[in-house]
Structure 1
């Protein structure tokens, strides 16, 4: 099965389909740092800089494509944002894809399509336009809200997922039960250099910070955002350690997202940029769960 990964970021979909009968033949994004990280970890996926606001239909269909994965910008639908929906300039790339999708000849449409976005996407004008278009082109749809905590992951990341197929989708089933490992199982060294919060920061903002104790077997991290490391509050959890309180490292967040153990960042990529990239990325565990809807995908659910 040949797949396109649109708004590919650092490769959450690529990680999710590793070992499946899927060949990612194109991975498109505009963020240079994301593409550098993607290419380092997925060397043969054709990752390149493409402006999806201006991409042409031929680039999305060349060679025959069976599966589209989309993770379009979430800012137009975020609860903490202005929620301008399709009036937000960052929605133009999705609008362009929908326009192209409406004009692609029937025989060149992908058999399957899936998408991830924030929960605020549900009920938006973009959501309505997307689902109406897919139904008009003969797709069966399944929509759900899913958080990795439902899959035994000690970190929250509630997201909207859509699965669409021109063939039957698999019967709906609850997520497979998985025992939840402790948060400590995802952590690196206790107090790495450069991650400790200053005492003055704790004195001023401590009560507003979601601080978790890795010794607590029930500890669950809050959702990490692209602002982690830049914004102190409403961007993710902090860890109590012997020297005080520290931030999670980007590598620890990637592990909580269930990227493979060998995943790495380019060595020259700044720490704040790494935080931004993982904060914008996907829960690999959740994507694998969503892909259970497609009977044609083999091996992606392991």
Structure 2
């Protein structure tokens, strides 16, 4: 494999970094860029050897980028301009300015990066920013492939549907519609789960209907699962889903338990799962701060089905608890050696994880991006 020199934009706590190293341990991150002080503290704590730049990307000139000498770009631009529960101001949102700036300087680089991987929320694919991205990549003669993927496609019991763009200044020498196991033998992922990753922009989930009002669609997305075994199974027919139990800490802290009044008040809207469930809803930056649509709550009772309690019952204080930050990180497939500086509070950890991505999903896509064995794949 060729030497990879990656520029990590909007690096957050380093999800892209972990994903790249999982596929290509010899890869070098030439620089990581983010404007969040807390995210940068966590990134520096885990990757002290990387050049970390706390500045806006719109401050980078062509000359500055050329000096970094990178051949890969990994980026997760701000998603707020495109989220369904937001104002959807798209390119008019100031938070899109840095991304548009990067697109404006990309064609002017003395040497274009060979590989680009971009992650964002579902909805980005219909935005004006997406149109500008495709226009720029076409002008620079990149081949592109787009995906809507959830961790459940890889057997991970967590719903986090996201848009991904792979761009490469070379042909993609594979066909995702083929189901010949020989095609996938060179991938660093077990062959048995690969068929579940046949999801493109042309094959949206049945729960996603663009004709529905945005508020209703957002509610559907936040409540994809009311029972861990009854999720839209079409997205993972060929995948054996793991249970949540494999991602839990053996001795969670006492402050993880949910007050009974929260359970009683929000029983009809909160997603409750058990350790036997094969799904959990997307964990957002507001997890534990709000009940609805921010992530699942764990029923601690030793049961294989969701416990139904009525609003006039007084649940035991230790019947239900929040997932810990470590467990959320586990479900997002961060490695066990991810750690947080002591000064980063529990609330801040949830927020940083909620703004991050699933490491295994990105690892899978990087493996597709870097495939070079044409004899097997053509």
Q: CA RMSD in A?
A: 1.8
1:33 aligns with 2:38: yes
Contact 2:74–2:118 (Cα < 8 Å) also in 1: yes
Comparing 66-75 and 12-21, the one that deviates more: 12-21
Aligned to 1:128: 131
CA radius of gyration, larger in: 2
Equivalents in 1 of 2:247, 2:60: separation in Å?
39
Equivalents in 1 of 2:252, 2:342: separation in Å?
20
Q: TM-score, normalised by structure 1?
A: 0.92
- SS of equivalent to 2:116: strand
1:64 aligns with 2:79: no
1:76 aligns with 2:81: yes
Equivalents in 2 of 1:56, 1:63: separation in Å?
11
Equivalents in 1 of 2:139, 2:292: separation in Å?
43
Q: What's the offset of the Cα at 1:118? A: 0.5
Equivalents in 2 of 1:237, 1:177: separation in Å?
28
Contact 1:154–1:256 (Cα < 8 Å) also in 2: yes
Equivalents in 1 of 2:76, 2:63: separation in Å?
20
Q: What's the offset of the Cα at 1:190? A: 5.2
Equivalents in 1 of 2:243, 2:56: separation in Å?
40
- SS of equivalent to 1:115: strand
Unaligned runs of 5+ in 2: 178-188, 194-239, 302-317, 374-378
Q: What's the offset of the Cα at 1:297? A: 7.8
Aligned to 1:95: 100
Q: What's the offset of the Cα at 1:55? A: 2.3
Matches within 5 A, 1:1-302: 1-19=4-22, 20=24, 21-105=26-110, 108-173=111-176, 176-178=191-193, 179-189=240-250, 191-214=252-275, 216=276, 218-242=277-301, 243-295=318-370
Comparing 65-74 and 166-175, the one that deviates more: 166-175
- SS of equivalent to 2:166: strand
Instruction: List structure 1 runs of 4+ shifted beyond 6 angstroms.
Output: none
Change (3 A) 1:198 1:69: same
Q: What's the offset of the Cα at 1:200? A: 1.4
- SS of equivalent to 2:256: coil
Unaligned runs of 5+ in 1: none
- SS of equivalent to 2:173: coil
- SS of equivalent to 2:266: helix
Equivalents in 2 of 1:11, 1:29: separation in Å?
10
Contact 1:224–1:237 (Cα < 8 Å) also in 2: yes
Equivalents in 2 of 1:59, 1:146: separation in Å?
34
Contact 2:252–2:324 (Cα < 8 Å) also in 1: no
- SS of equivalent to 2:339: coil
Equivalents in 2 of 1:283, 1:170: separation in Å?
25
Contact 2:242–2:278 (Cα < 8 Å) also in 1: no
- SS of equivalent to 1:135: helix
Equivalents in 1 of 2:90, 2:266: separation in Å?
32
Equivalents in 2 of 1:95, 1:250: separation in Å?
33
Superposed CA deviations along residues 29-86 of structure 1, whole A, max 9, x for unmatched, are 0111111111111222212212113222233221411000110000100011111111
